[in-house]
């Protein structure tokens, strides 16, 4: 049963942790899963991910918008659509809402322009459910920095290897260094999005234990699968499309 699930939230909110836990549990119960991350999961996406995260040169906000949406345009057409068509469950660590929250609300680009870029990139493919891991940015950033500090204690060779690994695995240094006010705007932006589209979003308290959050995610996904199953039997819905 095709289903498109995304995780959103600020730096260190637990998106990668929850996406991995969900993908693993779904696979254990016999579902076919594509576990993706944004930007990434395609040739161009991984190239841009590494460039965006390892390169701290500043760029214009407009260029940043286009790089993230370019990665998304590839991901949607080359990976997400084929997987959904094939009946897979797609679990995505960030998606188009990140662009609205970061480049729109965070950077202050006009929301209408961000929406237009997102719509072109997403090609009409929107998640069935989006989990927002919401919490106070200062607390979540401390989590993310604690993780970064672990890397600093290692020797130079490890650091070099893990520097690449961290960029690959979801380090967000580009934004981690932004002032707290930026992260507060991103959080407020996410909450606004969730408010505007309550049928798609589930807001979860990121300060809870990871196991507890995973249970809430699991319950919601089970509910959604049951509903999608009933609807597709009735021929009413092409999931994820």
Ligand X SMILES: Nc1ncnc2c1ncn2[C@@H]1O[C@H](COP(=O)(O)OP(=O)(O)OP(=O)(O)O)[C@@H](O)[C@H]1O
Sheet holding 201-205, edge to edge: 33-37, 89-93, 3-9, 129-134, 201-205
For residues 115 and 100, give the distance between their C-alpha atoms in angstroms, rounded to a whole number.
7
Residues of this chain that interact with ligand X (CB under 6 A) are 9, 11-17, 143-144, 147, 170-172, 208-210, 213
* 88 vs 93 by CB, closer to ligand X: 93
E-only strand ranges, 116-230: 129-134, 201-205
What residue 147 binds from Mg ion, ligand X, none (CB within 5 to 8 A, per partner kind)? ligand X
Q: Does 170 bind Mg ion (CB under 5 A)?
A: yes
Ramachandran quadrant class, 161 (left: phi over 0; alpha: psi -120 to 50; beta: rest): alpha
Helix %, strand %, coil % of the chain (to 5) = 60, 10, 25
Shortest CB 170 distance to ligand X, Å:
3
Q: For residues 176 and 225, which CB has a smaller minimum distance to ligand X in the complex? A: 176
Residue 137 or 170 with smaller CB distance to Mg ion: 170
Of the pair 168, 232, the CB lying nearest ligand X is at 168
Report 85-144 residues binding Mg ion (CB under 5 A): none
State in angstroms the smallest separation of the CB of 210 from ligand X.
Answer: 4
Distance of closest approach, residue 171 Cβ to ligand X, in angstroms: 6
Q: At what angle do helices 15-28 and 210-233 cross, to 10 degrees?
A: 50
In this complex, which beta carbon is closest to ligand X, that of residue 13 or of residue 99?
13
1-20 binders of Mg ion (CB under 5 A):
16
Residue 45 interface partner, choices Mg ion, ligand X, none, CB cut-off 5-8 Å depending on type:
none
Measure CA of the first residue to CA of the last residue in the chain; give whole Å.
12
9's contact among ligand X, Mg ion, none, with CB below 5 to 8 A by partner kind, is: ligand X
Helices 156-169 and 43-54 meet at what angle, rounded to 10? Answer: 130
Rounded Cα gap, residues 240 and 165, in angstroms: 31
Cβ proximity to Mg ion, 166 vs 185, nearer residue: 166
* 46 binds, options ligand X, Mg ion, none, Cβ within 5 to 8 A by partner type: none
Binding region for Mg ion (CB under 5 A) out of 21-29, 78-86, 132-140, 164-172: 164-172
Cβ–Cβ contacts within 10 Å for residue 1, how many? Answer: 15
Contact set with Mg ion (CB under 5 A): 16, 170
């Amino acid at each position: 049963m095709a289903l498109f699930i995304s995780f959103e939230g600020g730096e260190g909110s637990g998106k990668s942790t929850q996406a991995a836990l969900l993908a693993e549990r779904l696979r254990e119960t016999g579902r076919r899963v594509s576990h993706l991350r944004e930007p990434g999961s395609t040739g161009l996406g991984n190239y841009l991910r590494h460039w965006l995260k390892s390169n701290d040169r500043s760029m214009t906000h407009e260029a940043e918008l286009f790089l993230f949406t370019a990665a998304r345009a590839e991901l949607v057409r080359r990976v997400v659509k084929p997987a959904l068509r094939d009946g897979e469950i797609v679990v995505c660590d960030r998606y188009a809402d990140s662009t609205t929250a970061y480049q729109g609300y965070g950077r202050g680009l006009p929301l209408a322009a961000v929406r237009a870029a997102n719509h072109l990139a997403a090609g009409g493919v929107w998640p069935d459910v989006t989990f927002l891991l919401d919490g106070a940015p200062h607390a979540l950033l401390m989590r993310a920095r604690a993780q970064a500090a672990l890397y600093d204690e290692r020797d130079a060779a490890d650091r070099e290897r893990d520097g690449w690994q961290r960029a690959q695995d979801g380090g967000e240094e580009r934004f981690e260094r932004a002032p707290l006010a930026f992260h507060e705007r991103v959080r407020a932006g996410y909450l606004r999005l969730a408010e505007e589209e309550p049928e798609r979003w589930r807001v979860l308290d990121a300060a809870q234990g990871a196991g507890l959050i995973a249970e809430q995610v699991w319950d919601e996904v089970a509910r959604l699968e049951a509903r999608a199953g009933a609807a597709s039997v009735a021929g009413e819905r092409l999931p994820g499309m």
